[in-house]
Structure 1
Amino acid sequence: MSPAPSVLVIGGVGFIGRHVVTYLVENSLASEIRVVDKVLPHTAFFNKRQRDAFEKVEYIQKNMADQASIELAYTREDGSSFDFVFNVAAETKYSMNERFYEERIFLLSTRNAKEAAKRKVKCFVEVSTAEMYQSDKKPSKEDAKIKPWTTIAAYKYRAEEELKKIPGLNLVIMRPSMVYGEGATGGLASRLVCGRIYKHLDEEMKCLWSKDLKINTVHVLDVARAIWHVAVWYRDNDKTGKGPFVYNLSDSGSTVNPDGATDEVNDKHVGPWAELINKSGIKVTPLTPYVDQELLSNNALSIDGTKIVAETGFTYQVPEVTVEKLQEIIDDFKLNNLWPKDSI
């Protein structure tokens, strides 16, 4: 059996990153874990499991788009390289100035990948997005036509293409569909917030949902598991020099897309949500019902996530969205005093 690898997690404080770190720690998978992020853990609305996990890893606060910070983050006391590097860092806010995406997606990814190649990292996993495929009701496979429908996706794809050109980079690219789970503040979480607002307003929630436009999802635990799985698979099956490998991550469930949302609907949601938060005595919450304009276009996110199963033996533990999984998200927010009281 191969020794436990050392792991560098770039952007490990973010939504996906914190779940990756927690998964590695709770399952004792790595000999060393270093997390680098510009965000401090104690400001990131961690739950108890995540706080406990981060007590057992090395955390460094750095901007990983900066070359000097990158070199410091990759340097270990004994001079050796990290075995695996997981890049789960990127700008996730929509409708930002493109210079932010240039730095926080393209330059961050390419500079880190070049450093990983220089240091002969055994596997560099780049977490991208499935929002880059042309919208189609038929599930998109990895070779489907590329037509990014968000600016984030456009920069992610540009970064992917540049990474593929880097000599000596042991690269696996992951393209998840809509990621959900405990701590998610966008995606399905925004829909849950809207549902709570409509309950407060005593109205049927119908204006944000369409029966026709399909959006696939993937649970964040499966994303964390898949990142680890492909790195070990790459190392143990002597895939060096045989990539890059690109895999979608998507469950087999059929989730519907919010449709017909407008600025008027956003305005309707924001006021009641603020009222709910204030009445519950919540000072700060990362949750919002606001749906960004980039996400209001008529685009499906229908994704085929089976290639990773067929080629690497990965299995999804959460094959579809369930009421129980959605309730876990709400319960976690309640536990951390980020969700309105039921009595209001």
Structure 2
Amino acid sequence: MPSVLVVGSANFYGRAVIQELCAQRDLSSDTWMIRGVDKVLPELALFPPNVIKLFESVDYRMGNLRSAEFLEQAFGDTQWDYVINIAEYKFGQTAAVYEQDVRLMSLEVARLASKYKANALVHVSTAHVFKPHGSPNTPHVEDDAMEASNELAATHVRTEQELQMCKGRPPLVILRPALCYGPGDRQNVVPMLISAQISHATNQPMPILWDKDLRVSTVHVADVARACIQSAKWIATQNQESFAVFNLADLGDTTNAKLANAVAQLFNVKPSFQNSAFNFIAKRLKTSELTEEVNESLLGPWMELLTQHGIANSPLSPYIDAEHPYCRLEHCPLAINGSRVENTQGLDFKYQYSSVSPDTLRPMIDEFQQLGLWPTSI
């Protein structure tokens, strides 16, 4: 009987993992034990009805993930086959919040996974931790040097390093997703989607910052979920102290232009890349100054658009925090090589979403509209 504990199961990554686990369970003749834990009830997480129904079929427990006592209860007296830690963060938090929600919580999960003799531990980090190298469009591989460009990245780097050194830990996989999109995303590509919606409503071109050819590697959340599960199964068959790290990025070699064109086609608008003079100025602005300019130009029109469509409250925002990787694209291009996970013998993983496109983005808008969070004018 496979047993899986998902820490952070009611967020963007977590719901996708629960969906994939339930799909594999329903195709299996075995009895599965799936437990999800998080700080919010699924009914309050703005999930569509079909996802809420899936959560009703698993053992879900709500509690404070910062609490060592709650995490201990979440593990219970079960020897878990696989523990998947995907507790999510928000951009723009303080160093103290990241320390608590990323590093300390992850180390506690690792300690408990060791205590309860889990067969495998999967930790979801981020691919936005690499030191820029001489060729900005050469994809980073897993063994490249890391360098934190902000406090969030610094916390991820420290957490990865300390997890590897944890005494007695189970076999460990660290996954580093590139810019992730798909149903449930609210902070990665949503600001660009909102910009396109505003352009559609105003019949104006969609302004795009930075050079067309800069890399901004992407990955669909369903592929991240499958990688979590497949890598857990694989590492559990390795030696007790085994460790592996995998970048997660589709093989579509996404550029700034490719991402912008996919979004623009979805909304039937034209992308307008800023001229060299504008980008020359933008490069010299502080990240906070640049994001303030962008945010001020979009927040007002978005609120007006929501009001026109009778949407009184939506958690979706065009706001781009200074820690959002896209804000530093000119300084830190997001070129990620995600092929190792496909090429690892015995892991049995292939990307199902080869590249970002209007078709892969459309389900995000459909779900937002179903939930009454997005205008219905496209």
Which TM-score band (shorter chain)?
over 0.9
Structure 2 CA distance for partners of 1:198 and 1:209, relative to 1, 3 Å? farther
Instruction: Supply the distance in 2 between the matched residues of 1:121 and 1:305 (Cα, whole angstroms).
Output: 27
- Aligned-pair CA distance for 1:184: 0.8
Matched length: 334
Instruction: Supply the distance in 1 between the matched residues of 2:241 and 2:99 (Cα, whole angstroms).
Output: 29
Indicate yes or no: 2:283 matched with 1:248. no
Indicate yes or no: 2:2 matched with 1:5. yes
Instruction: Supply the distance in 1 between the matched residues of 2:20 and 2:128 (Cα, whole angstroms).
Output: 25
Instruction: Supply the distance in 2 between the matched residues of 1:27 and 1:283 (Cα, whole angstroms).
Output: 38
2:335 alignment partner, one of 279, 296, 302: 302
Instruction: Supply the distance in 1 between the matched residues of 2:79 and 2:371 (Cα, whole angstroms).
Output: 37
Structure 2 regions of 5+ residues with no counterpart? Answer: 261-278, 283-289
The residue type paired with residue 246 of structure 2 is Y
CA offsets, 1:180-204, max 9 Å, x none? 0012111122211111011222211
Instruction: Supply the distance in 1 between the matched residues of 2:13 and 2:82 (Cα, whole angstroms).
Output: 16
- Aligned-pair CA distance for 1:249: 0.6
Instruction: Supply the distance in 1 between the matched residues of 2:24 and 2:47 (Cα, whole angstroms).
Output: 19
Instruction: Supply the distance in 2 between the matched residues of 1:34 and 1:313 (Cα, whole angstroms).
Output: 24
Instruction: Supply the distance in 1 between the matched residues of 2:210 and 2:216 (Cα, whole angstroms).
Output: 11
CA offsets, 1:145-172, max 9 Å, x none? 1012232221111111111111222211
1:285 alignment partner, one of 314, 318, 326: 314
For 1:218, the equivalent position in structure 2 comes to 219
For 1:15, the equivalent position in structure 2 comes to 12
TM-score (norm. length: structure 2): 0.84
Contact 1:88–1:127, Cα closer than 8 Å, also in 2: yes
For 1:155, the equivalent position in structure 2 comes to 155
Instruction: Supply the distance in 1 between the matched residues of 2:241 and 2:104 (Cα, whole angstroms).
Output: 25
Moved more, 98-107 or 40-49: 40-49
For 1:201, the equivalent position in structure 2 comes to 202
The residue type paired with residue 163 of structure 1 is L
Instruction: Supply the distance in 1 between the matched residues of 2:238 and 2:157 (Cα, whole angstroms).
Output: 23
The residue type paired with residue 104 of structure 2 is L
Residue 164 of structure 1 aligns to a residue whose secondary structure is helix
% identity of equivalent residues: 36
The residue type paired with residue 156 of structure 1 is H
- Aligned-pair CA distance for 1:42: 1.6
Residue 276 of structure 1 aligns to a residue whose secondary structure is helix
For 1:117, the equivalent position in structure 2 comes to 114
For 1:328, the equivalent position in structure 2 comes to 363
Residue 106 of structure 2 aligns to a residue whose secondary structure is helix
For 2:93, the equivalent position in structure 1 comes to 96
- Aligned-pair CA distance for 1:206: 2.4
Instruction: Supply the distance in 1 between the matched residues of 2:367 and 2:190 (Cα, whole angstroms).
Output: 12
Instruction: Supply the distance in 2 between the matched residues of 1:8 and 1:41 (Cα, whole angstroms).
Output: 16
For 1:239, the equivalent position in structure 2 comes to 238
For 1:83, the equivalent position in structure 2 comes to 81
Equivalent runs, 1:4-153 vs 2, <5 Å: 4-28=1-25, 31-75=32-76, 79-91=77-89, 93-135=90-132, 136-153=136-153
CA offsets, 1:18-51, max 9 Å, x none? 1100111133167111111112212211012211
Instruction: Supply the distance in 1 between the matched residues of 2:228 and 2:298 (Cα, whole angstroms).
Output: 36
For 1:167, the equivalent position in structure 2 comes to 167
- Aligned-pair CA distance for 1:208: 3.0
The residue type paired with residue 315 of structure 1 is K
- Aligned-pair CA distance for 1:242: 4.5
The residue type paired with residue 147 of structure 1 is E
Instruction: Supply the distance in 2 between the matched residues of 1:209 and 1:58 (Cα, whole angstroms).
Output: 45
Instruction: Supply the distance in 2 between the matched residues of 1:217 and 1:207 (Cα, whole angstroms).
Output: 17
RMSD of equivalent CA atoms: 1.7
Instruction: Supply the distance in 1 between the matched residues of 2:35 and 2:168 (Cα, whole angstroms).
Output: 23
Structure 2 CA distance for partners of 1:21 and 1:215, relative to 1, 3 Å? same
Instruction: Supply the distance in 1 between the matched residues of 2:357 and 2:203 (Cα, whole angstroms).
Output: 24
Contact 1:19–1:50, Cα closer than 8 Å, also in 2: no
For 2:301, the equivalent position in structure 1 comes to 272
Instruction: Supply the distance in 2 between the matched residues of 1:283 and 1:83 (Cα, whole angstroms).
Output: 44
Instruction: Supply the distance in 2 between the matched residues of 1:256 and 1:187 (Cα, whole angstroms).
Output: 15
The residue type paired with residue 308 of structure 1 is V
The residue type paired with residue 53 of structure 2 is D
CA offsets, 1:79-107, max 9 Å, x none? 3311111000032x222111000100000
